[in-house]
Structure 1
Amino acid sequence: GNIFTAEAVRYKRATADAPMTSSTISLEAQGMTVDMLSSFFYLRTLDFDNMKIGQNTTVNIFSGSKKELLTITYLGKQKVTLNGSNLQTFHINFTFTRRGKQSSDPIDGWITADSRRIPVKVEGQLPVGKVRALYTGPNP
């Protein structure tokens, strides 16, 4: 069908010495739905070559204990220097929305513009600080 469900299990400790506790929440969405990891596999399937700059694609995402909308905006091709190599990439922007309001600052991503579509760089601002991830190769 067109209904996607998931169970999110969260583990935490009140303090370092406290016992581990867990809680489970059931999530449901109508339409295409991804989680944080599978969102990168989904991105690799998008036809960026035929997208216009500024064009959006929206998909449901299960993010931790909540359902949000993930909007992917195509920003065009861009060269990125990484590990001493110049790579032609698709530059994209991720925006998360919950209940009609943006739930985090936008995150930028770069995916190689070749047939491999490797996510090579991600940068963004999170509530706990800046995040930056760089691809170092197939076997770092």
Structure 2
Amino acid sequence: MKIYLIAFLLVATSLNKTQAQELNKIDEPAFKPGEKLSYKMKYGIFTAAEANIRVEETPLKFEDKPSYHIIAEGKTAGTFDVFYKVRNRYETYIDEQTIVPYFYAENRHEASYKHTDIVVFNHRNHTIKAKKGVFPLEGKVFDFLSSYYYARCIDVTKLQIGEKMDIQYFLEDGVHTLTITYMGKEKVKCSMGTFNCLKFNPTIIPGRIFRKDSKLYLWITDDGNRIPVKAHVELIVGSLTMDLTSATGLKYPLNPVSKDAD
């Protein structure tokens, strides 16, 4: 399975605004440099892919402002690596305070398919420059990595079950919108234990991978870290599950309800 799907799952955590009003950003980021999260993606009982995402300090400044460097890497594993080798890398530089992106790059190798892109978010000129052209930058627009980290800095304490939210993100040839529904709170098991979580249901576009009625669910920790611990998506044949396997360098302690996970 394409590691790019992992990117989609991470985007699914990104809450930008409600239908009625914009959600408020908390006073300080929910993460810090040195954080590293690792995941496994399983197709049934088989491990199909692995991914990690980390935050690094950088001396680079954009528009005279300090930034964080975020890197996500994914690859296929086991038998999947033999029949469909994937090696993908994504990078973004974000503002330390506002979390908006300045520079995004991706390098994807998926079997015989190769794709690269460089995206520059110019907040002074309100433009987004990518390989396929220059596009208007209106409001808060993210790449998938920056959207994930911005989402972790949103105050979601007043969300009501069934409330829908939108996220604006740039992908290859334009700005798109993803709608997400808040499903409530649940206790969820992952490789690191059982956690109190917030559950979300992003919309899915049917196609070669997803059925018309396929569902995607994602669970993030109901604590100061707001990290995804598990995701589950239905495919035309079978399903995929994303599972948190390691979390280090977190800003706040990660406290599972129990550690006797599957």
> Taking CA–CA contacts closer than 8 Å with sequence separation of 6 or more, which of the two structures ends up with the larger relative contact order?
2
Partner of 2:146 in structure 1? 38
Kindly indicate whether residue 251 of structure 2 is the aligned counterpart of residue 124 of structure 1: no
TM-score relative to the length of structure 1:
0.67
Partner of 2:191 in structure 1? 83
How far apart are residue 87 of structure 1 and its match? 0.4
Partner of 1:50 in structure 2? 158
Partner of 1:25 in structure 2? 132
Partner of 1:100 in structure 2? none
Task: Give the match's secondary structure for 1:115.
Answer: coil
Question: Across the two proteins, how many residue pairs are aligned to each other?
Answer: 127
Structure 2: 5+ residue stretches without partners: 1-100, 118-130, 206-211, 249-262
CA-atom RMSD in angstroms: 3.7
Partner of 2:71 in structure 1? none
**Is contact 1:9-1:22 (8 Å) kept?**
yes
CA distance in 2, matches of 1:82, 1:115: 18
**Is contact 2:186-2:197 (8 Å) kept?**
yes
Structure 1: 5+ residue stretches without partners: 98-103
Between 22-31 and 37-46, report the one with greater CA deviation. Answer: 22-31
Partner of 2:175 in structure 1? 67
CA distance in 2, matches of 1:128, 1:11: 24
How far apart are residue 51 of structure 1 and its match? 0.6
How far apart are residue 11 of structure 1 and its match? 7.2
